[in-house]
A and B are shown apart, each in its own frame.
Chain A
Amino acid sequence: MTKAAPHFISDDDLLKRVSSGDKEAYGMLYERYLVPVYRYCYFRIGSQLDAEDLTEMIFLKAWENLPKKQVQSFRAWLYRIAHNQVVDYLRTRKNTVTLEPLEIPADGQGNPEQVLLNREDGRVLARAIARLDEQDQEVLVCRFVSQLSHAETAAVLGVSESHVRVLQFRALKKLQALLDRGGKQDG
């Protein structure tokens, strides 16, 4: 007897349920986006604990401001809230970048060396990203860490899709130059 695959409920369907006050549905959206939103926060602000706090705040903010009309992409809408929260946070925390230990999942590999390598990679990457300007950070984190589409990234940044293409290219080049110059050693 085979077990039926769990039915995947789309963001839109969950959002409809949430609109009618279904907290369970919101909980499912929360589970779905907790880690991605956390990653977004972490790579934007560089502090594990603050990223956790901010992640919670983002979900509370999202609940409070649930869209009354259907949104094109819940994900993009959520990241837009995250973007605003991070911007607010950074405004009050200028010049304080704290980088704390990260936990990297040992997904599948189970190889402790690889885990350590990943963890170190995460730290080095976070340090390097922190040195870029805000827009470069944002586009890299949205496109590659959070793996948002061009359209979603454009919605979060409030720019056009074509501009996202330009921005991502430039930001990657800057990051590459930074790491080549020895960003790894600084870390």
Chain B
Amino acid sequence: MDENLEVIFDECLQAVESGRWSIEECLQHYPAQRQELEGLLKMAMHVRTAGMVEPRAAFRRSARARLSARLPDVPAVTNRNPFRLFKQISTQPLQWSRRMVMNWIAIVVLLASLFGGGAAVQASGQALPDSPLYPLKTGIESLRLAVSSEPAQTQLALEFANRRLEEAEKLIENQVYDYLPEVVAGYWQLTRQALEKTSLTEGLMENSADNPAELIARQVDTMTALLDQLPADQLSALEQSLGEETPAPEPVEGEEPPQNEPPLAGCTNQTHPVGVKLAATYAVPYETVMGWFCQGFGFGEIVLALQASQHSELTPEEILLLKVELGGWGEVWRHLAMLDQPVEPLPTPTLPVEETPSDATEIPTPEGTVTPTPELVNQGNYCSDLTQQHPVGAKLAAEYGVTYEQVMGWFCQGYGMGEIMLALQASQKSGLPADQFFAMKQQQGGWGKVWQEMGWIGKDRKSPPGEAEEPVTTPQATPSPETINKPGAQPPAGGGKPADENPGKKVTPPGLNKPPKDKQPPVNPGKGKP
């Protein structure tokens, strides 16, 4: 019966699909099978209709362009080079196309299956780098990354980066250094991947506990702590094997070339592999990264600042300074979010000149003696149309207990809201007027130098007023980074441990995982050249 029905159904289906019959006409041809046929034919038509889903419009728009961009990388069919895959993998490890990954995985899975099939795949999950199954483990990871969508990709990359950290820890513990370069390189590749996706898909300013950037920072700190346990010769060998080109520092007009500066205390001439990698990842000079590090900031913090800077008008250095002032990254995110508020540009006034209220361009002059000459900044029409309130200006005024007019006074002189926030924060900490900080910034040429002048960072660091008496009220009282990477540094303000008890990790963002105590680097990591 069913067999007969299959044939009848197929005949009807083809007739309906081709438009020769309607469903009803088919049923009239086969009245005995009407009941079953009707349901099945309707179901078939329903699947056809309901199956008419469309990809997202954005995907359709960009898909062909993406394909075109990737096709040139694919060699012509007739010109296959059997070594192409390996060459591309070795020269462009961070630009693996999914095709290449799939090819690679296919090879790995095939090889693995020869040695144990599915069991091998399962067993590979625990494989360490010296295991024959290790390539299968990393291969499967690559495949999972290749086929996952963006938010999941970041999570996966972080998860796999964590595996590399665990592997590195075991290798260092067992003093098996041969595989370390592979593991560390794998870790950085995953970290870069996560960072790229984070900048695209995650709002860094979201003050959530599992902020990917903060997870990355924890991992970077852990990796730093692990590498700091390496003997000098192994560290040097590792650095050489990772061999990363980093941008040279650009000479700043009116400043001495960096090589003339004396090395910062606590930083030796040895290159730090983490510094090298960060410099390459963010295309900043190695010297700049190490400058921050040798001032006492952890690499994890430097990652956070570099990453946050991509979303903010503040430079990485300014964000690090803000962190010193605010004491915790949660506060930093909150403040940056304040700056990040969308500001609608006001329409250009079209009123005749004589109708423009004469006081519209009068800007309240802030108290003090400052006459800054800030760079020309497009301040929109908030300075000419005082009836409109700049939302960020209003927020800053409320946050710091100053008048809106004061904030806008600085803004209309050309200072950015980020700078205004820094000055207000410094003013709050020191008790000095904010104007004084603008003046100092003008004289010194940068906020970093102002902080040094104030003794908040640098060799002559002292606690900002009030800090010594009262720890910073953030989720985690934060010591000064100055104590971190230098020998004999004074105990941190705000109740942190002395430098020799908490080396290399003094300024830890709230909630960050610290490496195990016995994995802590020595007092002064002493790695890296300025």
Q: Which residues of A contact B (CB under 8 A)?
A: 19, 21, 23, 26-27, 30-31, 34-35, 38-39, 42-43, 47-57, 59-61, 63-66, 68, 85, 88-89, 92-93, 102-105, 107, 118, 121-122, 124-126, 140-141, 144-147, 165-166, 168-169, 172-173, 175-176, 179
Q: Which residues from B are CB-within-8-Å of A55?
A: 55, 63
Interface centre among A34, A122, A141, A172 (most CB of B within 10 A): A172
Q: Which residues from B are CB-within-8-Å of A140?
A: 47
A158 to B147: give the CA distance in the assembly, Å. Answer: 25
Q: Which residues from A are CB-within-8-Å of B77?
A: 19, 64-66, 68
Contacts across chains A and B counted by CB atoms under 8 Å:
152
Q: Which chain B residues numbered 43 to 91 have a C-beta less than 8 Å away from chain A? A: 43-44, 46-57, 59-60, 63-64, 66-68, 70-71, 74, 76-78
Segment at the A interface, from B95-103, B231-239, B355-363: B95-103
Q: Which residues from B are CB-within-8-Å of A42?
A: 53, 55
Contact present for B67 and A21 (CB under 8 Å): no
A148 to B53: give the CA distance in the assembly, Å. Answer: 16
Top 8 nearest A-B pairs by Cβ distance?
Answer: A49-B149, A145-B51, A121-B50, A144-B47, A125-B50, A169-B6, A38-B55, A102-B53
Among B9, B17, B64, contact of A169 (Cβ-Cβ < 8 Å): B9
How far, in Å, is B450 (CB) from chain A's closest CB?
Answer: 46
Known: A19-B77, A166-B6. A63 touches B71 (CB 8 A): yes
A35 to B47: give the CA distance in the assembly, Å. Answer: 16
Contact present for B147 and A144 (CB under 8 Å): no
In this assembly, does B173 line the interface, its C-beta being within 8 Å of a C-beta of chain A? no
Q: Which residues from A are CB-within-8-Å of B59?
A: 52
Contact present for B5 and A169 (CB under 8 Å): yes
Q: Which residues from B are CB-within-8-Å of A103?
A: 53-57
Among A30, A51, A125, A145, contact of B64 (Cβ-Cβ < 8 Å): A30
A and B contact pairs by CB, cutoff 8 A, 30 listed: A21-B76, A23-B71, A34-B64, A38-B53, A43-B53, A48-B55, A48-B56, A52-B56, A56-B67, A60-B67, A60-B99, A65-B77, A68-B77, A88-B143, A92-B140, A92-B144, A92-B147, A103-B53, A107-B52, A122-B52, A125-B50, A125-B51, A144-B48, A146-B51, A147-B17, A165-B6, A165-B10, A168-B13, A172-B43, A179-B43
Contact present for B50 and A122 (CB under 8 Å): yes
Q: Which residues from B are CB-within-8-Å of A147?
A: 17, 48
Q: Determine the residue in chain B with the shortest Cβ distance to A37.
A: B55
Among B9, B51, B55, contact of A43 (Cβ-Cβ < 8 Å): B51
In this assembly, does B40 line the interface, its C-beta being within 8 Å of a C-beta of chain A? yes
Q: Which residues from B are CB-within-8-Å of A126?
A: 53
A105 to B146: give the CA distance in the assembly, Å. Answer: 29
Contact present for B49 and A60 (CB under 8 Å): no
Q: Which residues from A are CB-within-8-Å of B146?
A: 53, 57
Q: Which residues from B are CB-within-8-Å of A125?
A: 46-47, 50-51
Additional 20 contacts, C-beta under 8 A, given A57-B147, A64-B74: A30-B67, A39-B52, A43-B51, A47-B149, A53-B149, A55-B55, A60-B67, A60-B70, A61-B99, A63-B71, A92-B140, A92-B144, A104-B53, A121-B50, A122-B51, A125-B50, A165-B10, A169-B2, A169-B10, A175-B43
Contact present for A105 and B56 (CB under 8 Å): no
A35 to B40: give the CA distance in the assembly, Å. Answer: 26
Known: A49-B150, A52-B55. A60 touches B74 (CB 8 A): yes
Contact present for A35 and B55 (CB under 8 Å): yes
How far, in Å, is B20 (CB) from chain A's closest CB?
Answer: 16
How far, in Å, is B111 (CB) from chain A's closest CB?
Answer: 16
In this assembly, does B368 line the interface, its C-beta being within 8 Å of a C-beta of chain A? no
Q: Determine the residue in chain B with the shortest Cβ distance to A85.
A: B102
Among A105, A173, A175, contact of B52 (Cβ-Cβ < 8 Å): A105
Q: Which residues from B are CB-within-8-Å of A168?
A: 10, 13
Q: Determine the residue in chain B with the shortest Cβ distance to A129.
A: B47
A175 to B6: give the CA distance in the assembly, Å. Answer: 15
A135 to B39: give the CA distance in the assembly, Å. Answer: 21
Interface of A is mostly: helix
A26 to B67: give the CA distance in the assembly, Å. Answer: 10
In this assembly, does B148 line the interface, its C-beta being within 8 Å of a C-beta of chain A? yes
Known: A66-B77, A103-B56, A176-B39. A39 touches B149 (CB 8 A): no
Q: Which residues from B are CB-within-8-Å of A89?
A: 147
Contact present for A104 and B99 (CB under 8 Å): no
Contact present for B149 and A56 (CB under 8 Å): no
Q: Which residues from A are CB-within-8-Å of B48?
A: 144-145, 147
Q: Which residues from B are CB-within-8-Å of A48?
A: 55-56
Known: A27-B67, A52-B59, A176-B43. A60 touches B97 (CB 8 A): yes
Q: Which residues from B are CB-within-8-Å of A21?
A: 76
How far, in Å, is A162 (CB) from chain B's closest CB?
Answer: 10
Q: Which residues from B are CB-within-8-Å of A172?
A: 40, 43-44, 47
A25 to B358: give the CA distance in the assembly, Å. Answer: 65
Q: Which residues from A are CB-within-8-Å of B148?
A: 50, 53
Q: Which residues from A are CB-within-8-Å of B63?
A: 30, 34, 52, 55-56
Among B49, B68, B143, B150, contact of A92 (Cβ-Cβ < 8 Å): B143
A23 to B71: give the CA distance in the assembly, Å. Answer: 8
Among A23, A38, A57, contact of B99 (Cβ-Cβ < 8 Å): A57
Known: A92-B144, A93-B147. A27 touches B68 (CB 8 A): yes
Known: A61-B102, A147-B48. A54 touches B147 (CB 8 A): yes
Q: Which residues from B are CB-within-8-Å of A47?
A: 149
